[in-house]
Amino acid sequence: MENLAELIKESIELELNAAGLYALFHFAFPDDAAFWWQLHMEERNHASLLRSIKDTFLPISVYPEGLILPPLQQLKKANERLRNLLAEFRKMPPARDEAFHVALEIETSAGEIHFQKFAEQQHENKIDQIFSKLVREDKNHLQKIQQYMLNRNIKIQGMKI
């Protein structure tokens, strides 16, 4: 098995990179600023929760059993993609539609989709229950983005949702 600490480190970075993009979109799109800021804060909360797990539970060899992380290479590739997008969009923000499509891509990427699946499951293990409860309010980003797009007639891949 891959080093769990390294997987968590990459997962934290993924959450922070997503938060960074959403913050950038917050400033680039004033009409959608509150929406992007909410997603930004939720991603930062995810990073904080993962940091807490790493700092609190890993030293005593405990980890939420149901939170299955993707392979390390997938996380590294997703992080590289997000870092490249951050660099590109700092120079020139994307068009509004493109920002939403990037957000959809992020929320279906390695790490994010695993986090979502964990949050949706019922858990028997007490640690899993606690962690799931903590992320319950900050989940369903994909659904939130799609609903926001639908409410504002923003098209996905040339088609209305």
pLDDT band of residue 132 (cuts 50, 70, 90) is: low
pLDDT band of residue 55 (cuts 50, 70, 90) is: confident
pLDDT at residue 22, as a whole number: 98
Look at residue 158 and tell me if it is in a domain.
Answer: no
Look at residue 70 and tell me if it is in a domain.
Answer: yes
CB 108 within 8 A of CB 14: no
CA atoms within 13 A on the CB side of 122: 0
Domain count, the chain: 1
CB 114 within 8 A of CB 69: yes
Burial of 70 (0-12, 13-18, 19+ CB in 10 A): buried
DSSP class per residue in 81-137: HHHHHHHHHHHSPPPHHHHHHHHHHHHTSTTHHHHHHHHHS---SHHHHHHHHHHGG
Q: Which domain holds residue 68?
A: 4-151
What percentage of the chain exceeds 70 in pLDDT?
A: 71
Per-residue pLDDT tens digits for 70-120 = 788 988 999 999 999 999 999 999 999 999 999 998 888 766 655 666 666
pLDDT at residue 140, as a whole number: 78
In whole angstroms, what is the distance from residue 145 CA to residue 151 CA?
10
CATH of the domain at 16: 1.20.1260
Look at residue 130 and tell me if it is in a domain.
Answer: yes
pLDDT at residue 155, as a whole number: 83
pLDDT at residue 137, as a whole number: 56
Q: Identify the CA nearest to 93 among candidates 30, 144, 37.
A: 30
Examine the pLDDT at 31 and tell me if it is beyond 90: yes
